[in-house]
Amino acid sequence: MRDIAHLIAGGAGSAAARHGDVYDPNEGTIQARVALGGKTELDRAVAAAKAAQPGWAATNPQRRARVMFAFKALVEREMDALARLLSSEHGKVVADARGDIQRGLEVIEYCCVAPHLLKGEFTHGAGPGIDVWSMRLPIGIGAGVTPFNFPAMIPRWLFGPALTAGNAFILKPSERDPSVPVRLAELMLEAGLPQGVLQVVHGDKEMVDAILDHPGIAGVSFVGSSDIAHHVYRRGTAAGKRVQAMGGAKNHGIVMPDADLDQVVNDLAGAAFGSAGERCMALPVVVPVGEETAERLRDKLIPAIDALRVGVSTDPDAHYGPVVNAAHRAKIEQWIQTGVDDGAELVVDGRGFALQGHEEGFFIGPSLFDRVTPDMASYREEIFGPVLQIVRARDFEEAVALPSRHQYGNGVAIFTRNGHAAREFAARVEVGMVGINVPIPVPVAYHSFGGWKRSGFGDHNQHGMDGIRFWTRTKTVTGRWPDGTASDDSAFVIPTMA
């Protein structure tokens, strides 16, 4: 059985007292065990980061960018192997795993322009003989806690900008699928990153709390469920850290009467059921406007869902594979039952699905609910599985209100041919990321990612310029070179630029 160790100071950590099981979701069997650490292992990692970070910060931005360029080339070289490894632990199909790797790589491409991103500002002659300029400087040592659903993408969303800015970084990936994050850190070392600048520690709540409490860590970035994101934000900021914590979601897709329903159904199939619904930017709620639109959409959705192919993650014809573990499958099935108990109409029931030859795998079929209402628990909470809910809206105003009033505000989409409706919706809806005829509106790497309300805690979004701002501090310098003339009593009053 494989053992997955910490990566501290460029090498594997010592033998661990605790371990966690890493499953093969296709077979339902344990394929590896991962070391679970805590304060002791974190102290070692922080000490190594503290020793390495000043030298990395002193490395000019162009040379730091060259490491990113080299890392990009290595990931591209390893794409197929990384995708297979990711798929084997997470369960998403290999094509989807490649997308996971590629979207993270796009943030690394953005980080390759580090010299431009880290430029400060300069004003010549701000006052008599006075110049003012600013510098973007690293905060020191950062840490990232990342979820199981994107084990390749999200770690690079965090460590890419942090390293580019000159920080050291300690990554705590999900213990459910930790192999790809470790391999990415190894490739960063191969690309020329000094030992100790990027390290990987594994663990559960004990390790997360150790990160939040450690005085040597200046900033923490987190992605996970909203309850834990709120805990991370409160505990981290109470300890004096800079924190960005991204939480859960309940993204809505608004379908206007003029929408191209064939395109909408195709988009919904991928957005709601791709990766078995284990995406914070999945689209699990569809809101048709008007009863006629709802009936037409439902009639087209049912055969499309029936045609979805659930298979092992290596099946090139599968639309999605198993969920990550048995506990998560049971949680999804319980949410389906909760929807039934609340009075929603279960149109397609994905429970009890078994894949021939892989009966012990963590598979679940697609489910569809209709006539879901905002008071139902299954609507209010995130299911994080292959479950699509239809919530019917009477008109445009109700369609805008549904996602705006929801506790989550990560993403939303509107499907329409009407430019005025799209523009009005985008301006008014209380959600952080909006798609217009785009079902999964994840911004490109040079814009930033972040939700509102209980989907995001903190003042900065992730990647893009917000990522650079989060991982840097601004120092502003006001300088004067006296010309030798005598001073006067103005030295005793507050300086002005008059």
| Locus of tokens 């390759």 | 112
Predicted confidence at residue 487, as pLDDT, reads 60
The domain spans of the chain are: 2-247+455-477, 252-436
Residue 495 pLDDT greater than 80, yes or no: no
DSSP state of 289: B
Predicted confidence at residue 13, as pLDDT, reads 67
Predicted confidence at residue 447, as pLDDT, reads 93
**Nearest of 39, 14, 89, 327 to residue 203 by alpha carbon:** 39
What pTM was estimated for this model as a whole? 0.94
CA angle 463, 464, 465 (to 5 degrees): 115
One-letter amino acid for residue 91 of the chain: G
Contact 89, 151 (CB under 8 A): yes
Predicted confidence at residue 486, as pLDDT, reads 59
Q: Is the Cα torsion angle 395, 397, 401, 403 positive or negative in sign?
A: positive
pLDDT band of residue 482 (cuts 50, 70, 90) is confident
**Nearest of 374, 378, 307, 314 to residue 340 by alpha carbon:** 378
Over residues 106-136, the pLDDT tens digits come to: 999 999 998 899 999 999 999 888 999 999 9
- Beta strand segments in 184-326, E: 198-200, 219-223, 242-246, 252-255, 285-288
Over residues 194-233, the pLDDT tens digits come to: 999 999 999 999 999 999 999 999 999 999 999 999 999 9
Predicted confidence at residue 14, as pLDDT, reads 66
Contact 194, 165 (CB under 8 A): no
Q: How many CB atoms lie within 10 A of CB 125?
A: 10
Over residues 49-96, the pLDDT tens digits come to: 999 999 999 999 999 999 999 999 999 999 999 999 999 999 999 999
Distance of alpha carbon 242 from alpha carbon 165, whole angstroms:
15
Average pLDDT over residues 373-388: 97
**Nearest of 65, 92, 89, 222 to residue 145 by alpha carbon:** 222
Alpha helices in 214-290 (DSSP H): 226-238, 261-273
Contact 7, 185 (CB under 8 A): yes
Distance of alpha carbon 184 from alpha carbon 108, whole angstroms:
12
Predicted confidence at residue 491, as pLDDT, reads 63
Over residues 266-321, the pLDDT tens digits come to: 999 999 999 999 999 999 999 999 999 999 999 999 999 999 999 999 999 999 99
Percentage above 70 pLDDT, the chain = 97
Token representation of residue 224: 């996970």
Which residues are registered as beta bridge partners of 221?
A: 144, 244
Residue 400 pLDDT greater than 80, yes or no: yes
Q: Who's near 89: CB < 8 A, 6+ residues apart?
A: 22, 23, 24, 25, 31, 32, 151, 176, 177, 178, 179, 180
Q: What per-residue string of b and e applies to 326-342 under the rule 16 or more CB within 10 Å gives b?
A: eebbeebbebbeebeee
Contact 240, 212 (CB under 8 A): no
183 vs 481 pLDDT, higher one: 183
For the domain made up of 2-247+455-477, give the CATH fold. Aldehyde Dehydrogenase; Chain A, domain 1 (3.40.605)
Kindly name the residue from 185, 280, 301, 318 that is annotated as catalytic.
280
CATH of domain 252-436: 3.40.309.10
Predicted confidence at residue 484, as pLDDT, reads 72
Contact 129, 480 (CB under 8 A): yes
Percentage above 90 pLDDT, the chain = 93
pLDDT band of residue 407 (cuts 50, 70, 90) is very high
Q: Who's near 56: CB < 8 A, 6+ residues apart?
A: 64, 163, 166, 167, 168, 193, 194, 197
111 counts as catalytic: no
Q: Who's near 367: CB < 8 A, 6+ residues apart?
A: 336, 346, 348, 349, 350, 351, 386, 387, 388
Distance of alpha carbon 342 from alpha carbon 340, whole angstroms:
5
Predicted confidence at residue 483, as pLDDT, reads 77
Residue 494 pLDDT greater than 90, yes or no: no
Mean pLDDT, the chain, as a whole number? Answer: 95
SS3 content of the chain, % helix, strand, coil (to 5): 40, 20, 35
Residue 493 pLDDT greater than 80, yes or no: no
Same fold, 2-247+455-477 and 252-436: no
pLDDT band of residue 489 (cuts 50, 70, 90) is low
Token representation of residue 279: 């995406």
Token representation of residue 19: 């371990």
